[in-house]
Chain A
Amino acid sequence: MPMWLFFFLAALAVIAAFGVILQRNPVHCLLGLAVNLLDMGVVFIGLGAVTVGFLQIIIYVGAIMVLFLFVIWLLNLQAEGLSGYLGLKFFGAIGAAALAAELAVIFLQAAPISRLVAAPPTQGSIASLGRSLFSDYLIAFEATSVLLLAAVVGAIGLARRISSSADQAERSGAGQTSLPDQRTAPFGGASRAVDRDDQIPTSIPAPATNDSARRERRSA
């Protein structure tokens, strides 16, 4: 990779990373992270890891960042101001700068044989990656598939709304139940207002309806 290209990509990545940690609006932070990941995908391709670079762009930027964006929209997060203990933040930043300096010193003292090895032209191709993935790393590959299945089941189980019997009783005008319903929230305590889904603006507020039960619940 020529030096000018590396410095351009490195500067872009560092600027985007600073944008992630310093922006006030979470969507702007996400934009910075997407630029950084896209930039790293290009660096991977430049280093010869063509398949992994494309996978990074497709999976990381194309799926994970979009998932983050959906969650930010679902929670309706706004731009926030400075909060927390500013002195601790300042010392945290200094500590991390010391970490970066230490890593830079260690890496720049590397042996003089640190030039890029002339890689065989097909090393980063799908065929060579697949050949290694399905022979040397087969157990890890299968375990990863089980991990993904567990993640899907876990994510759905955590994030779904369970329409409890309390909501159905209110809808029929029977009033608020006094027994805490164990199925509304993962950790119980469903009798509080914040645990019932209609009190928190987790999405676009529902338009005003003429339903008498809903109006009675809204005025409670």
Chain B
Amino acid sequence: MTPISYFMVLSGILFAIGVVGVLIRRNIIVMFMSIELMLNAVNLAFIAMGRRIGSIDGQVIVFFVITVAAAEAAVGLGIIISLFRNRATVNADELNLMRW
């Protein structure tokens, strides 16, 4: 059987890959996908540690995280659509109206 620390290392690696995705990609939708990747890594950490201490609380928290991620995805994509209608671009470098 695999130790719990292996699952935590996998969670850390996935989280770091999500961070890289947010940093290096300039397409807003791909940045959003990298944020979902980070949320998924945290979900794995919750489930693994919940199993480790023998509690159901990890799974309940993941239930809420999935729900909140769904709500956030809906509103975020609505914002992206509205942004695209006004600026005709999804490149984050071109959305600089509020920059100095």
Contact = CB atoms under 8 A, between A and B. Distances in A.
Interface string B38-50: 0010011001101
A49 to B, nearest CB: 5
Contacts of B88: 194, 200
Interface size class of B (residues with CB under 8 A): 35 or more
B19 A33 contact: no
B4 A114 contact: yes
Interface in B1-59: 1-10, 12-21, 23-27, 29-30, 32-34, 36-37, 40, 43-44, 47-48, 50-54, 56-59
B40 A40 contact: yes
A213 interface: no
A89 to B, nearest CB: 4
A83 to B, nearest CB: 6
A110 B77 CA distance: 39
Q: A interface, by DSSP: helix, strand, loop or mixed?
A: helix
Contacts of B23: 89, 92-93, 95-96
Interface string A134-177: 00110010001001101110111111000000000000000000
Given A55-B66, A92-B24, A155-B74, A195 B5 contact: no
Given A17-B37, A29-B30, A44-B62, 19 more contacts: A2-B2, A21-B20, A43-B47, A52-B63, A56-B62, A59-B66, A60-B36, A68-B32, A80-B27, A83-B91, A110-B4, A116-B52, A132-B60, A147-B67, A147-B71, A150-B71, A152-B74, A154-B74, A186-B86
Interface of B: 1-10, 12-21, 23-27, 29-30, 32-34, 36-37, 40, 43-44, 47-48, 50-54, 56-60, 62-64, 66-75, 77-82, 84-88, 90-91, 93
